[in-house]
Amino acid sequence: MDSRCGSLNKDSGATSGPPRNTRSMSFTRKHPGLTQLTKRLLANGESSVVDYKKISKGLKPDDFVSFANTSDGGHVLVGVIEKKHKNGSQYGEICGHLLDDQIALGIVSKAMSCIPPVAIKLYAENTAADPLIRVHILPGENRPYSTPKGEYLIRDGSGNRALHPAELLQIFLDVETRAFTLRFEQLAGKITGSINHLELLLEKRIRDIAERLGWADSKVEDTDDTVQTVLGEVEDLGEEVDRLSERVRAMFRQDGREDPVREGEKRRLLGYLVRQLKEHPELAKKFEAGASVDIRQFGRAAQELNESDIRDTIKDALHRIERS
């Protein structure tokens, strides 16, 4: 890196004195001085969160993807070179840089050339003296990012390096996890909508039943027909609830998620079996001997769990009794 901060002509993209053109609509914000953030970035030298560039031409797609592939993103200070204190610690020294739309457009174009494009924000600072450009590279929401040449890089310390295959795989897995979470949240919204629809349906059916019962009170001779009608309505409601429950279970199975209702029934059954085994120790011997189990005796659990689930729960209960 060039450690000198001498005069730079317009073609190099920087200047040692005040800018010739500080008017630009491409910058998110302009500051006459330095922000506290930039002061810290200058004081601590190049690191995992900041890089210095003497001129904007030194800013490459490599720099954008390297920061975008991290969880925190980073900053590039353009118009700054790296210097060393007498004790060896590094810091950034401002050289100054032109501020105009053409330079800003060039920086944005490099960010847009990445695959996928990298999101950035441009800030013009120290405009009252020797201006610099702070390029804020946002942490990528669509990682991993690569250069136009297909290179996957990441910021490591004060430099950029290629991503190891294992790191690249982990980023892909993280992306898939986020996509799955989003899809599950959307699915949960659909489930909530189905439940709300069912509640409205139940309310309507209950009102219908109430109206028909009132009609039956005035016509005693039709009581039997009315009772049969009510029973039919209740049976229809039960079938609709069963169909909705089955749809919900199918959606959970499709996404490989635990069914909270099923898991809740397993926990309740486990608690019930532990209590029964404590009160009736002879049951443990029967279960251990492989006695047949009629799952219907477990009530609601028999509706939510299959025979294999119930046998596994019995084994868990036996293990708990052995440890107690």
The 3-state DSSP class for residue 172 equals helix
| Token couple for 21 | 């053109």
Q: How far, in Å, CA of 23 to CA of 124, rounded?
A: 10
Least confident of 31-40, 61-70, 178-187, 268-277: 178-187
57 pLDDT exceeds 70? yes
Hey, is 268 helix, strand or coil?
helix
Q: Does residue 29 surpass a pLDDT of 90?
A: no
State the DSSP H helix or E strand holding residue 155, giving kind and residue range, or none if neither.
strand 153-156
Return the sign of the alpha-carbon dihedral for residues 97, 100, 103, 107.
Answer: positive
Domain covering 10-163: architecture: 2-Layer Sandwich (3.30)
Q: What is the pLDDT of residues 158-188, one digit of tens each?
A: 999 999 988 888 887 877 776 666 666 676 6
Q: What is the pLDDT of residue 258?
A: 65
- C-alpha 195/C-alpha 173 separation (Å) is 32
Nearest to 238 by CA among 190, 197, 195, 202: 202
92, 41 Cβ separation under 8 angstroms: yes
Which residue would you say has higher pLDDT here, 201 or 152? 152
The 10s digit of each residue's pLDDT in 100-150 is: 889 999 999 999 999 999 999 999 999 999 999 999 999 988 889 999 999
Report residue 290's pLDDT band, with 50, 70 and 90 as the boundaries: confident
CB 118 within 8 A of CB 66: no
Give the pair of three-digit tokens for residue 78: 């353009």
pLDDT tens digits, residue range 249-282?
A: 666 656 656 666 677 777 888 888 888 878 877 7
Average pLDDT of every residue of the chain? 78
**Domain boundaries, given as residue ranges, for the chain:** 10-163, 164-257, 258-324
Cβ–Cβ < 8 Å for 12, 53: no
Q: Which has more confidence, 11 or 29?
A: 29
pLDDT at 72: 92
What pTM did the predictor assign?
Answer: 0.53
Given the structure tokens 């290629």, which residue do they identify? 162
Eight-class DSSP state of 213:
H
Residues 130 and 95: beta-carbon distance below 8 Å: yes
Asked if pLDDT for residue 314 goes beyond 90, the answer is no
Q: What is the dihedral of CA 170, 171, 175, 177, to 10 degrees?
A: 20
Q: Please tell me the predicted confidence (pLDDT) of residue 244.
A: 64
The secondary structure element, H or E, covering residue 218 is none
> Picking from 60-64, 126-130, 288-292, which range would have the lowest pLDDT averaged per residue?
288-292
Q: How far apart are CA 199 and CA 166, in angstroms?
A: 49
